[in-house]
Structure 1
Amino acid sequence: MKIEKELLILAREHHVSLVLANRVINTVASKNQAEISALCLNINKYFAESFKDHFETEETLILYPLMSIDKNSEDICKRLIKEHNDLIYLSSSLADKPELLLEFGQLLRQHTRAEDREIFPNITALSRKQLQAIAESSEKHKRIEEFF
């Protein structure tokens, strides 16, 4: 799939999300409690803050605008917004509830793939001005790969 140039930063961040999701799932499968605990603490410490700008860009500049343009995308957009909140909640809970780690990893992987497969291909419904706003907002994001 060709990625619009305005989405390249978000796409790179999605790659980081998928790498993190796979790391989480593999770490849980290893049953290594020290690694599980360390990963829970790292995600708890960095995820919400690191992905805050990413989620805000997606919600304000992609998901809400798509809902207003294409009523067929309303359900998926609402679900993805809810999942942003769920991911923040889960990541913020991991220090005290490491048993949520697998749920976090699975949701992160499923969520990222849904955005890549169901939202990014429809991005051309947005205007050039809207696409430019996505690019400009994305350029201000912190580099998230350094935390995970």
Structure 2
Amino acid sequence: MKRNENIIPLSKDHHFGLLCSWKIRQGLKKEIEVSRIRDYILYFWNHHLKKHFREEEEILFLYLEDEYMLRIRKEHRHIQNIVSQISSSENIDLFSDFADLLEQHIRFEEREWFPHLEETLEVPALEKIGKELNDIHTEEKDGYEDEFWK
């Protein structure tokens, strides 16, 4: 299904989230030093994911309060809690859990939540979302220098 142009900025962010999960898994598979992977997760959270969650919650949540929104909010909090645990841990199971949950969360948004919004919301609401995102959204760039996953 073709994504509505007004939600595309968030879909583009999702590409970087999926890539983040892949990089973490590659690092774990290659048995890269735990602190390097942890530093990347914290970087990704602080520079990308936290802002992305805020945009979804402050913009999209205003248009449709339903079971999808409740699930998304719960998953955002779960991911945030795992990141908090990761910040003071070397438990690689948490890293793997983070990668898995992030990927599952993104897949749910792309395959179910966004299509639901596109089908449920009227064109003027989607256009307003697009304008609001355009005002605050910055395009993701993947500039993390420690390429531990290679």
Q: What do residues 73-124 of structure 1 show as CA deviations (whole Å, max 9, x unaligned)?
A: x333212111111222222332311321111100000000000011111222
Q: What do residues 16-71 of structure 1 show as CA deviations (whole Å, max 9, x unaligned)?
A: 11111111122222222x2x32121122144145223321222233245322xxxx
- The ranges of structure 1 where at least 4 consecutive aligned residues each deviate by more than 6 angstroms after the TM superposition are none
Separation in structure 2 between the aligned mates of residue 133 and residue 57 of structure 1, nearest angstrom: 14
Separation in structure 2 between the aligned mates of residue 113 and residue 11 of structure 1, nearest angstrom: 10
Percent identity, aligned pairs only, is 25
Separation in structure 2 between the aligned mates of residue 133 and residue 39 of structure 1, nearest angstrom: 38
TM-score by length of 2: 0.79
The change in CA–CA distance for 1:11 and 1:5 in structure 2 (over 3 A counts) is same
Residue ranges of structure 1 left out of the alignment (5+ in a row) = 68-73
Aligned residues: 140
Residue ranges of structure 2 left out of the alignment (5+ in a row) = 145-150
The change in CA–CA distance for 1:21 and 1:61 in structure 2 (over 3 A counts) is same
**Correspondence list, 1:34-45, <5 A:** 34=33, 36-45=34-43
1:2 corresponds to: 2
Q: CA RMSD in A?
A: 2.1
Normalized per residue, the structure richer in helix is 1
TM-score by length of 1: 0.80
